[in-house]
Structure 1
Amino acid sequence: MKFLVTGHAGFIGNHVAIQLLERGDEVVGLDNLNPYYDVKLKQARLDRLTPYKGFTHCKLDLEDTAGVAELFSSHKPDKAIHLAAQAGVRYSLENPRSYIDSNIVGFLNILEGCRHNGVKHLVYASSSSVYGANGNAPFSVHHNVDHPLSLYAASKKSNEMMAHTYSHLFGLPATGLRFFTVYGPWGRPDMALFLFTKAILEGRPIDVFNRGQMQRDFTFVDDIVEGVIACADNVAKVNEDWSGESPDPGTSGVAPYRVYNIGNSQPVELMRYIEVLEQCIGKTAKKNMLPMQPGDVPATWADVSDLKRDVGYQPATTVETGVARFVDWYRDFYKA
């Protein structure tokens, strides 16, 4: 199969692209290597892909309508895994327009490329952030998600709605994945584990929001990659049991459309996460205990029962193992 993977120089996209190439698939990658965070890290991820004969790199902005259309028409991918986006809840407070350009306009360009080039399945990144003010835990794809708390979350909810429309109108099978706090080697520098590790090793204090009274469904990247590829292989279908009188948000009766949670389904207290990191580094963190940040939620917890049932998804990496693997990678990559 020939896959388009957007965001192949990003954290999750890089791992997904490598796994596809390792099993013998062809990968056409789209990434603009933007400076939202350290471009040297993105380039280092890209360097992991270039030795593979089946890999093609395309440096391109998602919002470049003509460029994305040309990419699809010239490469004709069989399936698309769309992971590129403007990420980050807090950054959306500072630079909201970038979320519209990348996550809304860019996603429309991907949908149009799939529509006009016979793509057999689109798998795209949504986010656990869409649950917003929902306090009904664990979070289920069958819950209402109409109350986002950040523009980032709103853009991801918009993606789900746009995908459903294209799936209905043009028969494009589409699967959305709501990611829950992914971490691991080659991770993003704006995420907590990366920030904490760097600060502790440099002897600086870490910022602990909501004074540590938070839970996150931390999910190791290898488990995520397994689920993403399993979903790509399992083409979305119409739910024949769907009812318009009691509409299920996670499926559709008029379109080959699915939305899944993809997480560890075992929430961990933030202070426990920090404790594990301290043990792996061998050093106690200095902590700035701060109030909740705007746009954040106190807890996330994924109900992944649908994903387990449909594709056999089974996350297996404990926080203790995953954090240790990240610290080993960080020390090696940064010689820290």
Structure 2
Amino acid sequence: MRYFITGTAGFIGFHLARRLLREGHTVTGYDGMTAYYNLRLKEARNAGLAQFPNFTGVQAMLEDRAALEQAVDAAKPDVIIHLAAQAGVRYSLENPKAYLDSNLIGSWNIVEIARQLQIGHLMLASTSSIYGANPQVPFREMDRADEPMTFYAASKKGMELMAHSYAHLYKVPTTAFRFFTVYGPWGRPDMALFKFIKAMLADEAIEIYGEGKMSRDFTYIDDLVDSIIRLSAIAPSEDNRVSMPEGLDTLSHNAPFRVINIGGGQPIALMDFIETLEAIMGQPTKRVMLPMQQGDVPRTFASPDLLVALTGSKPMTSLEQGVKATVEWYREHYQPLAL
């Protein structure tokens, strides 16, 4: 298969591209190499992908319509997987325009090019942040998701709606997958786990928001990648509509379009997460308890039912396994990169 993946210098894009390349697929990666965090990490990920002869890397911004169109046209992909975005819930409070440019204008460029080239399957990375502070748990794809807590979440919901309209008008099969608190090796420096590890190794206090009363449905990176690859072979159509139980499937009645959670449905309390990290690192944390940050939600909790119905699997890596693998990677790679 031929894949075009945006954001291959990013955390998720790197892991997905590497897995596909190892399996013998052809991957064209597209990344703007923005300086949202230390570029040394992105460059190291790129170097890992460049070792594969069936990888082609393109450095350009999503907003550069001509460069994006040229790259996709040259790649001639069977599947486009759009992962590139301005990430970070809290940063959207400081620089909302970055989210407008990347997550809305950049994503519109992707769906427009997919229309022009009639791509066989367009896949878009959305987020659990779309559910906001939904009081109903677990979060189901059919739940109302019209009360975003941040502009980041609003931009992702806008992307989903644009993509649905294009799927309806131009019949491009489209899957929007909503992922839940992804973590693992090669993660971003601004992610909580890496901030905690870095502070603990320096014998510094960690900052715990929401007085530690939050919970998250953590998803290990390998599980997320496995789910994306399984879903890439299931382009939405009436042929794969899930009929039972009634109301489970989000396949549109007006378009080859589906939204789907990628999460294990096993939320972990923040303090349990910290205690797991302490046990693995063999040391206690120094803690600074802080109030909930603006835009944060008290919990995330995925319903994996539709994912299981379509793929026969869901994220299963235990928190202990995932955190242990991440700590081991951090000790070997992260510190030498001086991040």
Instruction: Please classify the TM superposition score into its range, dividing by the shorter chain length.
Output: over 0.9
TM-score normalised by structure 2 residue count: 0.95
Q: Aligned runs of 1:1-336 on 2, under 5 Å?
A: 1-238=1-238, 250-335=250-335
Task: Report the alpha carbon displacement of residue 241 of structure 1 after superposing the two structures with TM.
Answer: 8.0
Residue 84 of structure 1: how far off its partner (Å): 0.5
Aligned identity (percent) is 48
State the alpha-carbon separation in 2 of the partners of residues 274 and 136 from structure 1: 26
Q: Distance in 2 between matches of 1:178 and 1:89?
A: 15
Matched to 2:16, the amino acid is V
5+ residue gaps, structure 2, are none
SS at match of 2:61: coil
Aligned amino acid, residue 128 of structure 1 = S
Distance 2:299 2:164 in 1: 28
* CA pair 240-48 structure 1, distance change in 2 beyond 3 A: closer
Mapped to 2, the partners of 1:136 and 1:281 lie a distance apart of 35
The Cα shift of 1:312 comes to 1.7
Q: Deviations over 1:152-210 (max 9, x none)?
A: 00011111111101100000000011010000011111111011111111111111000
TM-score normalized by structure 1? Answer: 0.96
Please tell me the residue identity of whatever aligns with 2:314: Q
Moved over 2 A (4+): 238-242, 246-251
Letter in 2 for 1:159: M
Pick closer, same or farther for the CA change 1:186–1:303 going to 2, 3 Å: same
Question: Deviation at 1:134?
Answer: 1.4
Letter in 2 for 1:82: H
For residues 128 and 158 of structure 2, what CA distance do their matches in structure 1 show?
13
Amino acid at match of 2:76: K
One-letter amino acid of the structure 1 residue matched with residue 236 of structure 2: A
Distance of 1:19 and 1:304 partners within structure 2: 23
Report the RMSD for the aligned CA atoms in angstroms: 1.7
**TM superposition shift of 1:247:** 9.2
Output the amino acid matched with 1:280. I
> Cα gap change, 1:56/1:150 in structure 2, threshold over 3 Å: closer, same or farther?
same
Distance 1:250 1:157 in 2: 15
Q: For the structure 1 residues 47 and 17, does the alpha-carbon distance in structure 2 shift closer, same or farther, using more than 3 Å as the test?
A: same
The alpha carbon displacement at 1:238 in A equals 4.0
Compared CA separation, residues 43 and 23, structure 1 to 2 (3 A): same
**Where in structure 1 are there 5+ consecutive unaligned residues?**
none
Checking the alignment, whether the CA contact within 8 Å between 1:241 and 1:253 is kept in structure 2 is no
Q: 1:133 Cα shift? A: 2.7
Q: CA deviation at 1:254?
A: 1.2
User: Deviation at 1:75?
Assistant: 2.1
Following superposition, the deviation at residue 23 of structure 1 comes to 1.2
Q: Deviation string for 1:242-291 (max 9, x for gaps)? A: 9xxx9989320111111001012100010010111111112211111000
**Aligned equivalents of 1:307, 1:107: Cα separation in 2:** 24
- Provide the C-alpha distance between the structure 2 equivalents of 1:12 and 1:189, rounded to a whole number of angstroms: 14
Output the amino acid matched with 1:188. Answer: R
Compared CA separation, residues 247 and 315, structure 1 to 2 (3 A): closer
